């Protein structure tokens, strides 16, 4: 598939996840086959206010490209201005969030709330696209199936986004009300794909090779986006790549997982300093250890650890 000049062999995307998809995590997913990654959600207003923490979230490293930078907000002018400011970080794509269901986002008129205002959604995409018209940076939009079961307007929004100049769409096959509750509605994704001429990426309940192949076949989508299934499991991308290329997939050995955990959390500490990095590493280690013998005990120990060295020692014990 192609988005602007960006060519992707399989169409495998890592979903933006607040508090998760930092540089360290994105690089780990890239290592195992994610073709396009994305920053955490970036506030358009905060970018315009030159907020230091926001600029840290917007950083992109050369080892993870192509990488999208996702912005959110509900003011067309501010969204357009923030898209231009975001170019400081050299994103390969500017993605507009119209799918976040979190109360503090949607409740403020941002994210999925924009789907309740089709004209505003159109104007935001149009203004961002116009702002970037001479920058050769594609604009994509992430939406949901709708606000609730009585207002599933993904097809309408998708057509408006395409008309406004969007280069691709991601559709999460759930309404805002359903949050992340299964099952995903693949019918609405298929309807969107049949209604527009730009690439469509399917999002929701893609957690392994089987579900990815089913999503591709049923919806006709151009790509799939994986979020929660990659937590502690960047190998899900390698599994899907093998399935698409009709190759045998071998699960990672315990020694490889052990080495990857250490690589991941070391990168976190290098990125954010030991005080913050070691504490953020706790949740990632817990995800990696999920389902392993003795996982609850080791998870509790990690939650008490305060340094990278302490966490690495616990990992060594867990994988003995």
* Catalytic residue (one of 100, 112, 161, 221): 100
Question: Could you give phi then psi for residue 307, rounded to 5 degrees?
Answer: -130, 160
Q: Where are the alpha helices (DSSP H) in 140-208?
A: 154-164, 186-195
Give the gyration radius of the chain's Cα atoms.
Answer: 19
Nearest CA to 125 among 137, 111, 141, 138?
Answer: 141
State whether residue 224 is helix, strand or coil: strand
Is 29 designated active site? Answer: no
CA dist 27 → 43, 102, 118 (Å): 23, 26, 35
Alpha helix positions (H), 93-153: 103-106, 118-131
- Can you tell me the distance from the alpha carbon of 189 to that of 22, in angstroms, rounded to the nearest whole number? 28
Helices (H) and strands (E) in the chain, counts: 14, 11
What is the 8-class DSSP label of residue 305? Answer: -
In the three-class reduction of DSSP (H, G, I as helix; E, B as strand; rest coil), residue 289 is classed as: helix
- Report, as residue numbers or ranges, the catalytic residues: 100
């Amino acid at each position: 598939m192609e988005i602007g000049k960006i060519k992707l062999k399989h169409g495998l995307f890592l979903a933006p996840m607040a508090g998760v998809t930092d540089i360290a995590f994105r690089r780990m997913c890239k290592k195992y086959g994610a073709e396009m990654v994305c920053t955490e959600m970036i506030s358009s207003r905060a970018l315009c206010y030159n907020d230091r923490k926001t600029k840290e979230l917007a950083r992109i490293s050369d080892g993870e490209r192509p990488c999208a930078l996702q912005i959110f907000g509900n003011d067309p002018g501010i969204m357009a201005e923030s898209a231009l400011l975001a170019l400081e970080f050299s994103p390969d794509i500017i993605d507009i969030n119209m799918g976040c269901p979190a109360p503090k986002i949607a409740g403020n008129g941002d994210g999925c709330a924009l789907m309740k205002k089709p004209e505003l959604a159109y104007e935001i995409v149009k203004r961002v696209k116009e702002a970037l018209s001479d920058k050769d940076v594609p604009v994509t939009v992430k939406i949901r199936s709708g606000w609730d079961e009585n207002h599933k307007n993904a097809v309408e929004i998708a057509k408006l986004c395409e008309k406004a100049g969007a280069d691709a769409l991601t559709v999460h096959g759930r309404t805002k009300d359903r949050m992340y509750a299964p099952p995903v509605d693949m019918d609405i994704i298929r309807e969107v794909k049949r209604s527009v001429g730009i690439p469509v990426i399917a999002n929701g309940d893609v957690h392994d090779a089987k579900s990815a192949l089913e999503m591709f076949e049923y919806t006709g989508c151009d790509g799939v986006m994986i979020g929660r299934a990659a937590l502690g499991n960047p190998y899900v991308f390698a599994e899907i790549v093998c399935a698409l290329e009709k190759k045998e997939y071998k699960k990672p050995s315990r020694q490889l997982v052990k080495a990857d955990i250490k690589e991941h959390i070391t990168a976190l500490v290098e990125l954010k300093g030991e005080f913050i990095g070691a504490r953020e590493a706790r949740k990632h280690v817990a995800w990696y250890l999920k389902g392993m013998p003795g996982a609850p005990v080791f998870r509790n120990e990690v939650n008490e650890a305060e340094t990278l060295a302490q966490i690495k020692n616990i990992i060594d014990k867990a994988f003995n």
